[in-house]
């Protein structure tokens, strides 16, 4: 049960991290243009 909670929390953090990185990359590309 605890393991499932840890996986769900870490999965959420991974999705948030990927989303933030994607926004950073988009911002960098927009800045170059």
Q: Tell me the pLDDT tens digit for each residue of 8-23.
A: 999 999 999 999 998 8
User: Does the reported pTM lie above 0.85?
Assistant: no
Rg (CA), the chain: 14
Residue 23: per-residue pLDDT: 82
Residue 15, domain member (yes or no): yes
Examine residue 33 and state whether it is found in any structural domain, yes or no: no
Is it the case that residue 27 has pLDDT exceeding 90?
Answer: no
Q: Tell me the residue range of the domain where 4 lies.
A: 1-28
Sign of the dihedral through C-alpha 10, 15, 16, 17: positive
In a domain, 13, yes or no: yes
> How many domains in the chain?
1
Report yes or no on 24 lying in a domain: yes
> Is 16 inside a domain boundary?
yes
Does a structural domain hold residue 19? yes
Question: What whole-number distance in Å separates Cα of residue 14 and Cα of residue 28?
Answer: 21
């Amino acid at each position: 049960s605890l393991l499932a909670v840890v996986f769900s929390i870490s999965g959420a953090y991974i999705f948030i991290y990927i989303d933030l990185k994607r926004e950073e990359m988009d911002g960098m590309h927009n800045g170059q243009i």
